[in-house]
Chains A and B, each alone.
Chain A
Amino acid sequence: AQSVTQPDIHITVSEGASLELRCNYSYGATPYLFWYVQSPGQGLQLLLKYFSGDTLVQGIKGFEAEFKRSQSSFNLRKPSVHWSDAAEYFCAVGFLNSGGGADGLTFGKGTHLIIQP
């Protein structure tokens, strides 16, 4: 079965500093990879996705992620964080079904990002 690991439960970063959130997946084929952000009591907002092609993916809010097949990783980065980036971040993996779309997602446990002033 597929699995997603986010090894960092909490990360604290100073405002203006760079950020990297780690994500590793376990799956036999190339998965479809996603990063979502969730504010308290809210749903999830898609930051970026990787389906194929260029392994460096640009997303919204200045985020990017790089797919590294050899490391089974899809780490999320941002060069300079803002206080508004404080939230829960989820990495997710989906799989192509016969209809051409990604099935229900398997989520990592999330990383809680804290921004220090």
Chain B
Amino acid sequence: GAVVSQHPSWVICKSGTSVKIECRSLDFQATTMFWYRQFPKQSLMLMATSNEGSKATYEQGVEKDKFLINHASLTLSTLTVTSAHPEDSSFYICSAREAGYQPQHFGDGTRLSIL
């Protein structure tokens, strides 16, 4: 149980384009979803927290207009990297958890490469 699916797993695109990443909880209702960013050989850094039906809460230093997050249902959250540039290239990982004292379950990540 507690499977989180993230799609796509790898995307390469040209500078200036927008990229959407989906995060789905397959067998549970995700009250809260989180988006993390991981640079090579480094730890995960929390970007934002989203609760279903509410606006996402962004961590300090994360551009809201660059990284658009939508959590429209209890099973789906999306991260859209707008007008992506090479410095946005990274490994993006989502996680989701149910309400209450539940741990986060992570997706397999999306490797984003901007040329």
Chain A positions near chain B (C-beta within 8 angstroms): 32, 34, 36, 41-46, 49, 51, 90, 94, 99-110
Tell me the total A-B contact number using a CB cutoff of 8 A: 68
Inter-chain CA distance A99–B107, complex, in Å, is 23
A-B pairs with lowest CB-CB distance, top 3: A43-B108, A104-B46, A44-B106
Q: Interface residue count for B (Cβ, 8 Å)?
A: 29
Q: List chain B residues, Cβ under 8 A from A103.
A: 49
Whether a CB of chain A sits under 8 angstroms from the CB of B53 is no
Q: Establish whether residues A43 and B102, one from each chain, have CB atoms under 8 Å apart when the complex forms.
A: no
Whether a CB of chain A sits under 8 angstroms from the CB of B44 is yes
Inter-chain CA distance A34–B95, complex, in Å, is 14
Inter-chain CA distance A107–B31, complex, in Å, is 21
Taking the closest CB of chain B, its distance from the CB of A105, in whole angstroms, is 6
Beyond A43-B106, A46-B103, A102-B103, is A109–B97 a contact (Cβ under 8 Å)? no
Q: Establish whether residues A101 and B6, one from each chain, have CB atoms under 8 Å apart when the complex forms.
A: no
Q: Establish whether residues B44 and A90, one from each chain, have CB atoms under 8 Å apart when the complex forms.
A: yes
Inter-chain CA distance A108–B59, complex, in Å, is 17
When the two chains form the complex, which single residue of B45, B46, B101, B109 contacts A43, counting CB atoms closer than 8 Å?
A: B109
Q: Specify the chain B residue showing the minimal Cβ separation from A104.
A: B46
Q: Establish whether residues A51 and B6, one from each chain, have CB atoms under 8 Å apart when the complex forms.
A: no
Q: List chain A residues, Cβ under 8 A from B44.
A: 44, 90, 105, 107
Considering only residues 36-85 of chain B, those with a C-beta below 8 Å from chain A are 42-46, 48-49, 59
Taking the closest CB of chain A, its distance from the CB of B42, in whole angstroms, is 7
Taking the closest CB of chain B, its distance from the CB of A106, in whole angstroms, is 7
Q: List 26 A-B contacts (CB under 8 A).
A: A32-B101, A34-B103, A41-B109, A43-B4, A43-B108, A44-B93, A44-B106, A46-B104, A46-B105, A94-B104, A99-B31, A100-B99, A100-B100, A100-B101, A101-B100, A101-B101, A102-B101, A102-B103, A103-B49, A104-B59, A105-B44, A105-B104, A106-B46, A107-B43, A108-B43, A110-B42
Q: List chain B residues, Cβ under 8 A from A44.
A: 44, 93, 95, 106
Taking the closest CB of chain A, its distance from the CB of B53, in whole angstroms, is 13
Q: List chain B residues, Cβ under 8 A from A42.
A: 108-109
